[in-house]
Structure 1
Amino acid sequence: MPEIANYKTPIEGLFLTGAGTHPGGSISGMPGRNCARVFLKSEQPFVQTLKDLSNSVKSTVGSVLGVF
């Protein structure tokens, strides 16, 4: 159902995660991580965006330079 895509539901403050959400039912923890990111962005959008950007830059620099 499109109404519950991206871990959000029509009910304010209710988020959906688990084996039935993207990326599926493997033992990776990714559905929970993705849902947590959506929740954090809904609570503090600017702060979380800055944290995500910082983590992306660190990851990229670490990959290129072989550090971190």
Structure 2
Amino acid sequence: TDGQHQVLYSKPISGNYQDVIPASAVAAVEKDPFRFTKGTKSGSKFIKRWLEPVLITAATTTVFYMFYSLRSDK
């Protein structure tokens, strides 16, 4: 602002910050009085890395098997 309390320049500011802390320190960092300190927890890496691809592969294999087995019956 200048001496007359007018805004001379305005620019939107945005940013994204990410920290990684050990799971044992989460309780100490996320204090109850401050809601902004509670982060979002990512899902299980096991599900994303192994279970999801296995289920998709099994479903696709089942569809192909059923398609060819029904087609070969005629």
TM more than 0.5: no
Q: TM-score, normalised by structure 1?
A: 0.35
Q: Which has the higher contact order (CA 8 A, sep 6+)?
A: 1
Greater gyration radius: 2
Q: TM-score, normalised by structure 2?
A: 0.32
